[in-house]
Amino acid sequence: MLRIAMSLSLLAAVLVPGQAVAAEPGCPDQRLFQVGGMGDPTARVFDQGNAELPAGVDAVKVVYPAQIWPLAPKTLDDSNAEGRAELDRLVTEFHAACPGSRITITGFSQGALVAGDMLGEYSRTDRIPHSLINGVLYADARRAGVGGKPGGIMTNLPTFVPGITMGGPRTFGDLPVVSLCNQNDGMCYSENPLTNLPAFANGLYGYLSGAHSQYDFRPVTHSGSANTVVAQPPLLPYGPPLPLPIPTPWELVNGKPAAGVMNNIRNAVAPVLPQSARLSEFPFLGV
């Protein structure tokens, strides 16, 4: 009778939709896999939040180069490829050892590219059960725009620098992913420069002036599938975009090299930025 009861309980756990699988002994209920941004290969940006993790939750840092040429030896593409491989290795090994534990993949800025690209890949496979995985992205350059509003800079500008592939917007299927973006952060909220150049410049200026780092890096507190832009008053004055159906440069060029277009945008934007000398910190403008 005991054996029959145990079998029925196991069958119920399999058949009842949404029922969680208990974590294995010695495994956490939830593990965070964290990916830092450019210049932060050990994801220090998440340290404060990690000190406040609740019982049953732990965190692992995904160590990778976190570099972008020409500001460092490795290209963005090569650095991110190493990050994706390391993240995938850690997640795969953890799931094999702890098949009932939840997995949260989170990243900031360049780390959001690594984390977001892997979340997109997991959404297209069954290697990790979708019921066990979620994501939290901060300042994702591939964030898709919502309701006709701007997305990230990699959905706006075309590829124009070797090794910095502007991948366009991405989706996550049925995986729950929270994407958080400050409105003045040009990395994840980039207005079409062909219809609203002052707003595009505001995004660059906001990036250089601190909007890019003003996030609450506590991914364990975020859940669901919210693509959220945090409203902020502009740092540079701008109005609504031109009421013209002009595609973004990325849509026009579809990711193909467009150095001439980008040089024109850079030359137009630089004089209106109070900190134009710091444009080297924004390699997506081809410096």
Give me the pLDDT at residue 235, please: 96
Report, as ranges of residue numbers, the positions in the chain whose pLDDT lies below 70.
1-23, 255-287
Give me the pLDDT at residue 11, please: 34
Contacts of 23 (CB under 8 A, 6+ apart): 29, 56, 98, 100, 101
* Residue 228, φ and ψ in degrees, nearest 5: -110, 130
Residue 203 sits at the vertex; the CA angle it makes with 147 and 279, to the nearest 5 degrees, is: 145
Q: Which of 191, 205, 196, 193 is nearest to 261 (CA)?
A: 193
* C-beta atoms surrounding 139 within 10 Å: 29
* C-beta atoms surrounding 264 within 10 Å: 13
Give me the pLDDT at residue 117, please: 98
Domains and CATH numbers, the chain: 28-285 (3.40.50.1820)
Single pTM value for the model: 0.84
Q: How far apart are CA 159 and CA 249, in angstroms?
A: 10
Give me the pLDDT at residue 223, please: 83
Cis peptide before 233, with omega less than 30 degrees from 0?
no
Q: Taking the mean position of all CA atoms in its chain, how far away is CA 250? A: 18
Give me the pLDDT at residue 62, please: 98
* C-beta atoms surrounding 240 within 10 Å: 8
Q: Which long-range contacts (CB under 8 A, 24 or more apart) does 209-214 make?
A: 209/184, 209/235, 209/275, 211/182, 211/183, 211/184, 211/185, 211/235, 212/109, 212/139, 212/182, 212/185, 212/186, 212/187, 214/182, 214/185
Give me the pLDDT at residue 241, please: 92
